[in-house]
Amino acid sequence: MTLTTIDCDYTGPEFACAFLRVEGDECAFVETNTSHATPRLLDALARAGRAPEDVRWIIVTHVHLDHAGGAASLMKACPRATLLAHPRAARHLIDPSRIIAGATAVYGEEAFAQLYGTIEPVAAERVRALEDGERVPFGAGELTFLHTRGHANHHFVVHDPQADTVFTGDAFGLVYPRLQRGRVFALPSTSPTDFDAAAAVDSIARILGLGAATVSLTHYGQHREQAEIAEQLRAWLEVSRAIVADGCDVAAAEARLAATLEDAVTRAGLTLDANDRRLLSLDLRLNAQGLAHAASRADAPRR
Ligand SMILES: [Zn+2]
């Protein structure tokens, strides 16, 4: 059994990763990052002494492009692999036109290409959609998939008992290695367009309930301090819920998140440098956009 964390160098080091699992004769990737990361993933496979033909599963926790943008590119390189995805994600991997149009509208064509490269469709017969609780065989064991809403409606997590971990995608927050300085420092991702605070809290409980030794986060790496991470996420999510309930716009949401950040930084005993602040301000901006979007939805919970 091996589990390798692969730094995808997405917008910088130790910001987004993918995982390689080797179990007996079989290999699996969890997350693909973007097509720019495909050579890094294949390089990790070669360093593990395995060939692209050994890859049985390519798994994406959800369809956001820092997780699944490289799926088609990696599938092309691994001829025997099947792509495993949430049913709501699978259709966008088979026909990525809506994702491409959405991201191009946000970033513009040039920045889109720089960030994500090209995104091709994946042949439908190579994609398998997994229902909540479904299992697939892997080596001598199996992987279990649990649907976890809150961050995105097309999100699942993967329980891997052999590695004694849960691959949590964006459902167990962001825990950047550079901000772990003796104490845990975690924050959730509440980016657009599906954020649901109550569902996010339920998903955290579901992940903890699996009782795995570690959580493996796409942002970033493996962590043992699940209880502390969960406690910090719940506090942030309570603030986030209130921001949605108050009907905040992006600016108001961002101001309240910035105040919450200062409290969290003080509590963690952190001193932030300019680079830390830059990293966190990007997340807070995205989180504020997600909360304002949730507040504007017709079904938004009110106080
Ligand atoms: Zn995401």
Peptide bond into 193 cis (omega under 30): yes
Does 302 fall in a domain?
Answer: no
Residues 141 and 54 in one domain: yes
Of the candidates 122, 138, 162, which is a domain's last residue?
Answer: 162
> Which residue range is the domain that position 101 belongs to?
2-162
Any idea what the Cα angle at residue 239 is, between residues 238 and 245, rounded to 5°? 90
Distance 24 CA to ligand 1 centre (A): 30
Q: For 101-115, 193-207, 275-289, which range has the lowest pLDDT when averaged over its residues? A: 101-115
Does 12 fall in a domain?
Answer: yes
Peptide bond into 4 cis (omega under 30): no
Does 172 fall in a domain?
Answer: no
Distance 193 CA to ligand 1 centre (A): 10
Residues 126 and 8 in one domain: yes
Of the candidates 110, 138, 162, which is a domain's last residue?
Answer: 162
Distance 25 CA to ligand 1 centre (A): 31
Does 116 fall in a domain?
Answer: yes
Distance 135 CA to ligand 1 centre (A): 23
Of the candidates 126, 146, 162, which is a domain's last residue?
Answer: 162
Whether pLDDT at 105 is above 90? no
The whole-model pTM stands at 0.97
Locus of tokens 């469709």: 121
Give the CATH number for residue 23: 3.60.15.10
Does 54 fall in a domain?
Answer: yes
Number of domains in the chain: 2
Give the CA radius of gyration of the chain: 18
Q: Which residues are within 5 Å of ligand 1 (an ion), measured at CB? A: 64, 170
The number of CA neighbours under 13 Å toward the Cβ of 18 is 34
Give tens-digit pLDDT for 47-96.
999 999 999 999 999 999 999 999 999 999 999 999 999 999 999 999 99
Structure tokens at 114: 């720089």
Residues 131 and 40 in one domain: yes
Residues 121 and 259 in one domain: no
Distance 278 CA to ligand 1 centre (A): 19
Contact 70, 40 (CB under 8 A): no
Distance 64 CA to ligand 1 centre (A): 5
Does 249 fall in a domain?
Answer: yes
Give tens-digit pLDDT for 129-181.
999 999 999 999 999 999 999 999 999 999 999 999 999 999 999 999 999 99
